[in-house]
Structure formats: structure tokens, C-alpha cells
Amino acid sequence: LDYTDSLICYFLYLSSVSHQEVQSPEFLSVEAGKTVSISCTGTSGVGSDMSWYLLRPGEAPKLLIYGGDALESGVPERFSGSYSGLNFQLTISGVQPEDAGDYYFYYCQSQHNTGTSTNKVHVFTQ
């Protein structure tokens, strides 16, 4: 990030909040091998500068998707991102046990825009 642009960055957890809402349940229990999607709606002015991260206990956040739909190098291809307008979605096709953790929707926007952050999506695997 270019900090000279005075960007404000947010980790969106999960729920309905001012100017953005996440449409997935707060907790997802997924059987290994199944497909799961997590969705979020961003505020106006955000564009495609969106990322998805996975956070597991005791580990640094892992970037999965950036730019709304670009897969980070080294991330398994079962992860994919898509978006249309302000609607963003993370899909895991064929969930694996190691995919369990907290998934965060992340965005940056210029300082003159406003936003808030709240909640998370926790994925359990069975």
C-alpha cells in the first residue's frame, strides 16, 4: 500500500453494519469435500480493491484473494474470488480440514470516505 495516499483499511468480520453488510452466517460448519461460499457487500467508492484473508490461531493472516478475484501465489486453486459491482464472494471448492479458520474480508479506501468494521466468518470443517 502507498501510505502517502492516506488509505484507511478495514477488516470486515461479519454482520450488518453502517455502509456494508455481509450476507453469510457468522459460523459455517462444512463437511470436507463440499463447496462453501462467503459473500460480502462493500460500500460505494471501494471498487475492486478487496482482499480475502484466512486467520488461524497462532498464525499470521494468510492472503488468499486480492483485487476481488486474483488468487495469491501459492494458494490452492480450490479458493476463488469473484465480484459484481459491490458484491464480493469467496468460494472454496472441495473444503479441506486445513481450511478451518476465520475468514476476513478486507478493503482500503481513501480517507475522505467513511466506513466501519465488525465481525467475522468462522468456518469449521467436519
The answer to whether 26 and 15 have CB atoms below 8 angstroms apart is: yes
pLDDT tops 70 at residue 51:
yes
35: amino acid identity, one letter: T
CATH number (domain holding residue 121)? 2.60.40.10
DSSP 43: P
Q: Cell 471501494 belongs to which residue?
A: 46
Find the largest Cα–Cα distance for the chain: 45
pLDDT number for residue 70: 94
Position 118 scores a pLDDT of 34
Q: Which of the two residues, 117 and 74, has the higher pLDDT score?
A: 74
Give residue 96's domain range: 3-125
Q: Are 39 and 87 spatial neighbours (Cβ–Cβ below 8 Å)?
A: yes
| Stronger pLDDT, 123 or 58, i.e. the higher one | 58
Q: Which of 13-22, 33-42, 67-76, 86-95 has the lowest mean pLDDT?
A: 13-22
Q: How many domains are contained in the chain?
A: 1
Predicted confidence band of residue 57 (pLDDT cuts 50, 70, 90): confident
DSSP structural state of residue 14: S
CB 69 within 8 A of CB 83: yes
E strands, the chain, are: 7-12, 16-17, 20-22, 27-30, 35-41, 50-55, 62-66, 70-71, 79-84, 87-93, 101-110, 121-125
Q: What is the pLDDT of residue 109?
A: 57
Residue 16 has pLDDT above 60, yes or no: no
- Mean pLDDT value of segment 40-65: 79
- For the sheet containing 79-84, what is the strand order? 16-17, 20-22, 35-41, 87-93, 79-84
- 72-94 pLDDT, tens digit per residue, is 999 999 999 998 887 888 899 99
